[in-house]
Structure formats: C-alpha cells, structure tokens
Chain A
C-alpha cells in the first residue's frame, strides 16, 4: 500500500516537470481522492512541485524489487521525451548504441607472440621501429643482462636452458590437444543447454512439414475425385459407343439381308430366263433346218477356199 504513494526513481539532472508518467494499471486510480499525496496520473507541473515538497524525504528511498512485485502499478513508464511520444516497448531513446554497443561474447582471446607478448604492442611499435622492434628490444634486454651480469652464467644456467627448451617443446606438442579436450568437455555441457531450444525448433519444423503435407494432400483430394469422375465418364462413353455400334450392325444386317434377297431373286429370274430361252430355241431347231444350215456353211467354206487359192 505504501508503494502507491512513492515517487518513481528519477536520475540526477532531469527535471521532473519534463517527465510524464503513466501507471501500468488503473487499480490505484480508486485511491486518488482518498489520499491527496498520490501522483498516479499525469498532472500539471504545479501539482508536481506541491507533491515534491510533501515527499522530499520519500524520494530518497530506493524502490525494492519486492515492492514492485507486490504491486505492479508502482512501475512508472515515461510517456514522452523531448516532445516525442514514448511507448512501453521503446523507453530508452537516449541509448547510445554507437559508442557503447551491447555486450557480445568474444570468439577468441587476444593474439599473443612468444606466449606472453600481446600483438597490440607489436602494432604500436611498427610505425617507429618496424617489424623487428620488439624482437630487438627483448634480445637486447637479454644481452644487457649477460653483459652487466644481471644474468650470472653459473653452473645452474644449463638446467634453466634445458628446462626452457623442454617446457616450450612440451607446450607446443601437447598444448593444442589438451586445449581441444577441455573445450570438448565444455562444449558438451554447452550443447546440453542449447540443444533444448534447437531440438524444439527442429521438432516444430517437422510438425510444420507434416501440416504442409496434410494440406497438400487435402488439396489433392479434389484432383483425385476429378480423376475418378473422368474415369466414370469415359466408361459411360465407351458403353454408349458400344451400343451405337451394336445398333448400327443390327440395322446393317437387316438391310444387307433385304439387298441379298432382291439380288437373289433377280439372279434366279435371269438364269431361269436364259435357260428357258436356250432350251426353247434348241427345241425349235428341226432336223431339216439343221441339214440346210450345214449345206450353206459347207458352200461358204468352198467359196472361201476357192477365193483364197
């Protein structure tokens, strides 16, 4: 209940009269008239200053998370800034993303030469000393140490030399493998966290694929029905044509019969007539006529023979 009467946290150097506030919910509007000190509505600057005077000491109290969780209407959002309307999702127009970009996890550590000298030092000295500057510096340092006997060449120097050589050899040979093994262990653990979201995404994709397939199948059902309709129509047409053919053949058979019948009749009449005529003629030929025609033919032959000689 006390949080309803708290002023919101205002950063230093911002005039409260320039900021307009709006609560998230209307639950505290019912208490406006009950307590004159509440500032839950956009008010003119006159009332802001009045309420400032009454609650100066309360402004110093920090808002606690527990208070805001108990009563979400105590969260105040800005509604305008420099004359521009601000929405709940866009409350930070002063954010400078150019000079202060958001935090990003880096991929690899800074580059390094000889396992302890950063590359930035080499780049810094490149303009002044060239490529060999830092190398010459460290070699010169070592030589200075020998020459001034800061590095004393005593009998234990051999041990240090061999130790350095051994360490460097071991690190060069074994280092990358050990790093990969450790990174593999770490990557397994990271995968256990990230695979949850990736697997959900993959499952969602699979389900969407199934939905798309069922949708296409639903579309193809229409084509299937059309195909069945076409098949049935084609069968109907086949039957229709078959029956037309049958009709045609039946009618043709009957007509051919009639034609054959007429032809047979005519044929019979003709043959009968010819036979009758020939038999009658043959019957009418007497024996005397036969002898006379024979003599006439013989005489003609004799004449022809006389002529041809």
Chain B
C-alpha cells in the first residue's frame, strides 16, 4: 500500500530508519503542495545553468528581441506576433514582471515606500475609473460636455 498519513507499511516504521520521519515544522512543507504545483515550479525551457549561471526570475532567457520602446509603430503587430502567447508564456511573463518590480524597488540596500505608492496609485486609478466616476455621474453640473 505504501505510506499515507493514516497508515504506514512495516518497513517504514522500523526504528532507526530516519527516512520514515516525514514530519516537518512548516505546515506548508508538510502538506507538500509543491507536488501538485510542479507545472508552475519548473525552470523555463531556455534556461541552462551552465550558460546562464544561477536562475534570476526577472530575466528572460529566450532569444533576445527588441525592447518595446525601440520598436517602430508599424512593426508592432509583427513584434506582438513574435511573442509567446501561450498560457504558460503569459504566466511566465507575469512572474517576470513581478520580479522586475521587486528588483527595482525592494531588492536593494536602501528601500523606500515607492512600491507602496505605485500600487496605491494604480488601485486608486482603477477604483476612480470603474467605481468613482459612475457614482458621481448624478452630481455632474452639466449634461453635455
């Protein structure tokens, strides 16, 4: 049967077998949710530790492409076509964005609260555009602008 949390095989209970002790202090480690999240917990395909060194989650390890600021307006559709638009690609892009933000504002020797301010401003903008403006439509001074 093997070992589960409610029953164990005799082999594993033999005293002196350190591998039977699977308990861990951290409940997250004990539950071992990483086995279900293996798909999200792997390196990107283009990452090679021998060439790239230790893994930096904010870096893109694929083929080098133009920055969005350097691409011409006419080439934008072609540029977008070259991007990886699969769900995994989008997920990895989001992860990279987060780590870039982290590295820009939190991964240094003199951090400040700019990261909080930026998140606050974006949230305020979202709230203003989608919730505050509709609430204030009744209080407009003029109907047509």
Contact = CB atoms under 8 A, between A and B. Distances in A.
B104 interface: yes
A175 B110 CA distance: 13
A183 B110 CA distance: 7
B139 A100 contact: no
B8 to A, nearest CB: 20
Contact of A11 (B48, B56, B108, B112): B48
B69 interface: yes
Interface in A138-154: 147-150, 152-154
A115 B117 CA distance: 7
Interface stretch (A29-37, A102-110, A129-137, A213-221): A102-110
A135 B110 CA distance: 27
B52 interface: yes
Contacts of B136: 152, 154
A112 interface: yes
Given A100-B52, A115-B117, A116-B118, A108 B142 contact: no
B50 A147 contact: no
Contact of B114 (A92, A97, A116, A154): A116
Nearest to A78: B50
B121 interface: yes
Contacts of B105: 109-110
Interface in B24-80: 48, 50-54, 56, 59, 69
A105 B108 contact: yes
A148 B54 CA distance: 52
A112 B51 CA distance: 34
Given A95-B53, A116-B117, A149 B145 contact: yes
Interface residues of A, number: 30
Contacts of A103: 54, 56
Contacts, number: 74
B133 interface: yes
A52 B112 CA distance: 56
B141 A149 contact: yes
Interface residues of B, number: 32
Contacts of B112: 109, 175, 179
B140 interface: yes
Interface in A87-123: 92, 94-97, 100, 102-103, 105-110, 112, 115-116, 118
B142 A95 contact: no
B111 A109 contact: yes
Contacts of A152: 136, 139-141
A2 to B, nearest CB: 14
Contacts of A92: 50
Contact of A109 (B52, B59, B108): B108
A95 B108 CA distance: 26
A148 B143 CA distance: 10
Contacts of A179: 110, 112
B104 to A, nearest CB: 5
Contacts of A153: 141
Contact of B110 (A102, A109, A115, A124): A109
Contact of A115 (B108, B114, B141): B114
B85 interface: no
9 contacts: A94-B51, A95-B53, A97-B53, A107-B108, A109-B115, A116-B117, A148-B145, A149-B141, A149-B145
Interface of A: 11, 92, 94-97, 100, 102-103, 105-110, 112, 115-116, 118, 124, 147-150, 152-154, 175, 179, 183
Top 4 A-B pairs, shortest CB-CB distance: A106-B108, A152-B136, A110-B104, A109-B105
Interface of B: 48, 50-54, 56, 59, 69, 103-115, 117-118, 121, 133, 136, 139-142, 145
